[in-house]
Amino acid sequence: MVSARKKYLGGGRILPPAVRGDMTATELVEGVFSSYNAARLREGARLFARKMLAPDSTVAASLTGALTPGGYGISCLIPLVEAGFLDWIVSTGANLYHDMHFGLGLELHHGSPFVSDVELRQAGVIRIYDIFFEYDVLLDTDAFVREVIRAPEFQQPMSSAELHNRLGRFVAEREKVLGTQGRSLIASCYRAGVPVYTSSPGDSSIGMNVAAMALAGSKLTVDPNLDVNETAAIVYGAKTSGGKSGVLILGGGSPKNFLLQTEPQIQEVLGLAEKGHDYFLQVTDARPDTGGLSGATPSEAVSWGKIDPDQLPSAVVVYADTTIALPLLTAYALANREARPLKRLYDRREELVDRMREAYLARVEGTP
Contact 40, 284 (CB under 8 A): no
Going by the DSSP 8-state scheme, the letter that residue 327 receives in this structure is H
Contact 68, 61 (CB under 8 A): no
Contact 103, 69 (CB under 8 A): no
CA distances from 211 to 92, 165, 222 (A): 17, 19, 10
Sign of the C-alpha dihedral computed for residues 125, 202, 76 and 283 taken in this order: positive
Going by the DSSP 8-state scheme, the letter that residue 54 receives in this structure is S
Q: How far is CA 100 from the centre of its chain?
A: 16
**How far is Cα 80 from Cα 88, in angstroms, rounded to an integer?**
11
Single out the residue of 290, 278, 291, 281 nearest to residue 318, CA to CA: 281
**How far is Cα 295 from Cα 280, in angstroms, rounded to an integer?**
13
- Active-site positions? 306
CB burial of 309-329 (b: ≥16 within 10 Å; e: otherwise) equals eebeebbbbbbbebbebbebb
**H helix or E strand, kind and range, residue 335:** helix 322-336
CB burial of 147-159 (b: ≥16 within 10 Å; e: otherwise) equals ebbeeeebeeebb
Single out the residue of 138, 139, 113 nearest to residue 127, CA to CA: 113
User: According to the 3-state scheme, what is the secondary structure of 57-92?
Assistant: EEEEEEECCCCCCCCHHHHHHHHHHHCCCCCEEEEC
2 residue type, one letter: V
